[in-house]
Amino acid sequence: MTMKVQLEEISPIKKKLTIEVEVEQIRKEWESVVKNLNKKVKLKGFRTGKIPVNVLTKYYGPQIEEEVVSQIINRTYPEALKETEVIPISMPELDYPPLDKEAPFIYKAEIELKPEIPVAEYKGLEVKKPVVSITEEDVEKRLTAIRMSHGELVALEEERPLQKGDFAIIDYKSFMDGKEVPGGSAQNFDLEAGAGYFNAEFEKELEGMKKEETKEFDIDFPEDFGNPALAGKKVRYLVVLKEIKKRNLPDLNDSFAQSLGKDFSSLEDLRKKIREDMEQEENRKAEMKLKEDLTDGLISKTEFEIPEALVNREIQQMMMRFEQNLTHQGLTWEKAGLEPARLMEKFHPPAQKLARKKLILEKVAQLESIIVSPEEIDEELQRIARNVNQSVTLVREIYNKNNLMPELSQQLLEEKTLNFLQEHATIQP
């Protein structure tokens, strides 16, 4: 298709294409669209394919114009990219005038490109190795948590008010400005008073209540509260305490350890296993922190403009994972009191950092010819299959069906690149 193309640089990562299509091409495209439409539509008083052009344009003018413009852009935009040798990372922002089939069609396409990454010296980065230290107190805290998790909740036999550490079975409703809060009520809801898992002030209000007692109280949520719908708001609660339960804890002895599995013959065996598990956890965390420090060091040394399209891509991934977590909890955005727009705004800084990290690691991988082999992908699929107790064939099928293979390959490439950086870093104790 005959056309003229001009390329304008807006910034190192933004370009604007101005594409002019000659009037002869416009007429041809218009005539083709009209001819095809004539074969499809039916109008009373006319045979299919024999409708006069002026009648067609009277009834289908906007549709004809939309299709002509769409076909022109679909044909010329890829050719313009090829001619200018630019590779966009997202769909273009298009700007075009109303169609005039008697004049050249001139439209603009603004596009974002991957930035040139001026990677600084990435070998020999200095980082401190995080210290891993598990104390006896740490082990005892974990042991106490295990003991608590195996406690039995039983109804309180004595008649007394709710105390800190008791479990309350409640019905509650919440109100804001005199109206019931959507998703802000529950029946037979259980919580541990004083644990702070629900809301510390809410739990404090329950202390001193008696079974079957009803109580109303207000909670003032701080401005920085995690739920935007409640942040800075006063909420009135209506609570009915239906039952009080307490937790009977098992004795901390060899018998308790043995009840947790055949690997433990004594309480000392359990403590030893707890320490080993905690050391493994802390070593994994230390490894992650070390690699995070390496990438932070690279990011601080590497200045470049980040395309907003890549940032938005990361935000969408974060939003998708967040929504999936809500769904698993049986919640919607409304029930959780969350506003997607505010959450997207909150995700912007970490998404920007993540997009920058990925670009830098990709550049290092290119410079060092780091690649992911098919065998490495197979090994990772086998590892995933073992973890979820499924066949590798099924896991591979799911990854292919959901187009997850490119993401998996990218993750493995980033891991290999981070390992390379770690091997060539100066790690201080």
pLDDT digits (tens, 9 = 90+) for 34-79: 888 888 887 877 777 788 888 888 888 899 999 999 999 999 999 9
Q: How many CB atoms lie within 10 A of CB 152?
A: 10
Residue 275: band (very low, low, confident or very high) from pLDDT cuts 50, 70, 90: very high
Whole-number pLDDT of residue 46: 79
What one-letter code names the amino acid at 256?
Answer: F
Token pair belonging to 287: 């490894």
**pLDDT mean over 368-383:** 96
Model confidence, pTM: 0.75
Residue 146 has pLDDT above 70, yes or no: yes
Whole-number pLDDT of residue 333: 82
User: Which residues, 6+ apart, have CB-to-CB distance to 146 below 8 Å?
Assistant: 260, 270, 274
Go through the domains of the chain in sequence order and give each one's CATH number: 3-112 (3.30.70.1050), 152-248 (3.10.50.40), 298-428 (1.10.3120.10)
**pLDDT mean over 112-122:** 89
Query: 133 burial class (0-12, 13-18, 19+ CB within 10 angstroms)?
Result: exposed
Residue 1 has pLDDT above 70, yes or no: no
Backbone angles phi, psi at 404, to 5 degrees: -95, -5
Q: Of all residues in the chain, what percent carry a pLDDT higher than 90?
A: 72
- pLDDT, mean over the chain: 91
Among 112, 114, 122, residue whose Cα is nearest residue 304: 114
Residue 336 has pLDDT above 80, yes or no: no
Token pair belonging to 318: 């974060």
Label the pairing between strands 186-192 and 167-176: antiparallel
Whole-number pLDDT of residue 329: 76
Residue 342: band (very low, low, confident or very high) from pLDDT cuts 50, 70, 90: confident
Strand partners for 128:
428
